[in-house]
Structure 1
Amino acid sequence: MALKQEGASIKDIAEKLKLTNYTKNIDLADCFIKVRDINRPALQLTGFYDHFDSNRIQLIGMVEYAYLNGQHDENERHEIYKKLFSNHIPAVIVCRGLEPEKNFLEEAEKAGTPVLGTSRATSQFEAALINVLSYELAPTTTIHGVLVDVYGEGLLITGESGIGKSEAALELVRRGHRLVADDVVEIRRVNDTTLIGTSPAITKYLIELRGIGIIDVKSLYGVECVKDTQTIDLVIQLEDWHRDTDYDRLGLDDEYIEILGQKVVCHSLPIRPGRNLAIICETAAVNHRQKKMGYNAAAELYKRVQENIVGASKEIK
């Protein structure tokens, strides 16, 4: 398992949000943002820079634009721009299709700060930007395994190489479920409760089957059998079956694995000839979904056993 935490490229953000680049002389690929929070520099435009977090992307909306152009002459605005860009902010985005003036762009290019634009309303765009930054800047790790969407549940299948992860995933695909990633799964913790899994671009939609080679699931089975991203809800750990090992047969108490500080329910599944891995994995996913809906079959069995014991005790008395 490899963990990484890097800044997000301003170029990638601009492409995802379809932003216009007003500073053509600045290469967006060389600009990065490292914090998820954003700021609207209302107080800063008045000269108040106490507690100003200069690491955030700055949004200019109608209010900021009207304040600058309605109450200041050109020289005053120029001084405000100089002060703003002297703080080495990572980027400025102007909303509502408003055009930044020449002095603004000149000071931005001197400071090496890209200025981007969008026609979307400020509050609407702000929500979209926060969503993109949360994803791009989320703590990330890679895990050797297979990720499949089974009835809407993200099933991460792990285990040693050659144990049958890819074969189980292929059978799940043939049963109508969707492949997200094979061999390597990139996982992001986008918030305190959600893990999102994706496939590296180089192996997207591909499965390796030992003895056959690489197959393209999208081409063979259609676009309905693949998916780009999926939340990780359940982990199935495949392992060789050992006669002397005591395996859980009731499932009263859930076991967990920790991924990026987030606990995920994990089932250890012993592999033995004759066991249909795909059906077992499918059943585990449905059972997990049922537990989230409030019904636990193991707890129900335990309840019935206790009731029988109590009833038998009363009859003896």
Structure 2
Amino acid sequence: MADSVTVAELVENVRLDVYTGEAYLKDRRITTSDISRPGLELTGYFDYYPAKRVQLLGITETSFAKRMTSAELTDVMTKMSRPETPAFVVSTSLEPPKELVKAAEAAKIPILGTKVTSSRVLSNMTSYLEGQLAERQSIHGVLVDIYGLGVLITGDSGIGKSETALELIKRGHRLIADDRVEVYQQDEQTLVGEAPRILNHLLEIRGIGIIDVMNLFGAGAVRGQTDIDLIVHLENWSPDTPFDRLGNGTESSQFFDVRVPKVSIPVKTGRNLAIIIEVAAMNFRARSMGYDATKVFDDNLNSLIKENSKKDD
């Protein structure tokens, strides 16, 4: 988990324009993903002013500011420009009040701008900051994008996760992370995985070493991050270990507050794990769309039992 994000990183990733204070972008740090719309502050109410948040001014705030005298606005903007305030953002290509420009320059606070609406830029900034500031957990496994589904392959070391991922990449799927997967909770239902920076686009194959997937297979073979939709756990086959035969199991794993569906696949000589995992992802998607092959089998079985019962009668 990152403790903070610089305003420079916010500008680059949310595609904001710099109105003033470009020299301070790398010095100002953001420590919370919450964004403030300073409406009450414009009326002079500062008892609960969230000074550590990025301050967003839109049409409502700038329209109200135009009704204030220059002295009133100077006083308010000076109070808003605290040492801990990371930046001001003005949406919808609006011109920031000159009193804000003066106060922000005195406090060395950047003023940023964007042509998009307040709602859109608020959503974009919140999404980016939540992703960067969220608590992270490191998981041993391989994360692959299969037909748009994020599949996390787990299992004991040496069981063949990376080799299976390599075969999936050759079949046209995309690598997100090998060996270590950094995961964080984006919202109540979404878990996101990405590679640590040092392992980006790299895959380790025993006997060969580390390979650069992007260099060997092209940019289409890798992806920066993805939601984790399914966990495929590889286990060494044993006659004493029960495995799901019908596909009606309800295994899952929990990370933070999110539960992710899980399937366990036995590893045995001669099994093509890449194709099996590919089919597992396709079957998971079919179930998500309302088609359940297990239910079809049960229905067919029940129909057959009824037919045989009628014949016996």
Q: Same fold (TM over 0.5)?
A: yes
Which of 27, 32, 35 is matched with 1:34 structurally? 32
Shift of residue 313, structure 1, vs aligned partner: 3.1
Matched, 1:198 2:184: no
Match of 1:222 in 2: 218
Shift of residue 29, structure 1, vs aligned partner: 4.5
User: 1:96–1:152: structure 2 CA closer, same or farther, 3 Å change rule?
Assistant: closer
Shift of residue 163, structure 1, vs aligned partner: 1.0
TM-score normalised according to structure 2 size: 0.89
Shift of residue 257, structure 1, vs aligned partner: 0.9
Query: What amino acid does structure 2 have at the position aligned with 1:26?
Result: Y
Query: What amino acid does structure 1 have at the position aligned with 2:29?
Result: C
Query: What amino acid does structure 2 have at the position aligned with 1:95?
Result: S
Shift of residue 93, structure 1, vs aligned partner: 1.2
2:266 aligns to what SS in structure 1?
strand
Matched, 1:135 2:131: yes
Deviation larger for 161-170 or 302-311: 302-311
Which consecutive unaligned segments of at least 5 residues does structure 1 have? none
The answer as to whether partners of 1:45 and 1:84 remain within 8 angstroms in 2 is no
Cα-to-partner distance string for 1:166-202 (whole Å, 9 max, x where unaligned): 1000001111111111111122221111222222222
Task: Quote the Cα distance in structure 1 between the aligned partners of 2:51 and 2:44.
Answer: 14
* Correspondences of 1:273-312 after superposition (within 5 Å): 273-312=269-308
Matched, 1:272 2:285: no
1:71 aligns to what SS in structure 2?
coil
Match of 1:208 in 2: 204
The answer as to whether partners of 2:232 and 2:277 remain within 8 angstroms in 1 is yes
Which of 21, 24, 29 is matched with 1:23 structurally? 21
Shift of residue 113, structure 1, vs aligned partner: 4.4
Residue correspondences, number = 312
Match of 1:186 in 2: 182
Match of 2:8 in 1: 11
The answer as to whether partners of 1:94 and 1:116 remain within 8 angstroms in 2 is yes
TM-score normalised according to structure 1 size: 0.88
Percent identity for Structure 1 against Structure 2: 40
Cα-to-partner distance string for 1:263-316 (whole Å, 9 max, x where unaligned): 111111111111111111111111111111111112221222223233333433
Task: Quote the Cα distance in structure 1 between the aligned partners of 2:28 and 2:122.
Answer: 23
* Correspondences of 1:165-180 after superposition (within 5 Å): 165-180=161-176
In the TM superposition, structure 1's runs of 4+ consecutive aligned residues that sit over 6 Å from their partners are none
Task: Quote the Cα distance in structure 2 between the aligned partners of 1:54 and 1:29.
Answer: 16
Task: Quote the Cα distance in structure 1 between the aligned partners of 2:118 and 2:170.
Answer: 45
1:244 aligns to what SS in structure 2?
coil
1:191 aligns to what SS in structure 2?
coil
Deviation larger for 238-247 or 277-286: 238-247
Which consecutive unaligned segments of at least 5 residues does structure 2 have? none
Shift of residue 97, structure 1, vs aligned partner: 4.1
Task: Quote the Cα distance in structure 2 between the aligned partners of 1:273 and 1:293.
Answer: 33
Task: Quote the Cα distance in structure 2 between the aligned partners of 1:292 and 1:158.
Answer: 22
Task: Quote the Cα distance in structure 1 between the aligned partners of 2:304 and 2:2.
Answer: 55
Deviation larger for 103-112 or 238-247: 103-112
Shift of residue 110, structure 1, vs aligned partner: 5.7
Task: Quote the Cα distance in structure 1 between the aligned partners of 2:120 and 2:2.
Answer: 28
Task: Quote the Cα distance in structure 1 between the aligned partners of 2:19 and 2:226.
Answer: 32
Shift of residue 213, structure 1, vs aligned partner: 0.7
Query: What amino acid does structure 1 have at the position aligned with 2:7?
Result: I
Query: What amino acid does structure 1 have at the position aligned with 2:35?
Result: I
Which of 160, 163, 170 is matched with 2:159 structurally? 163
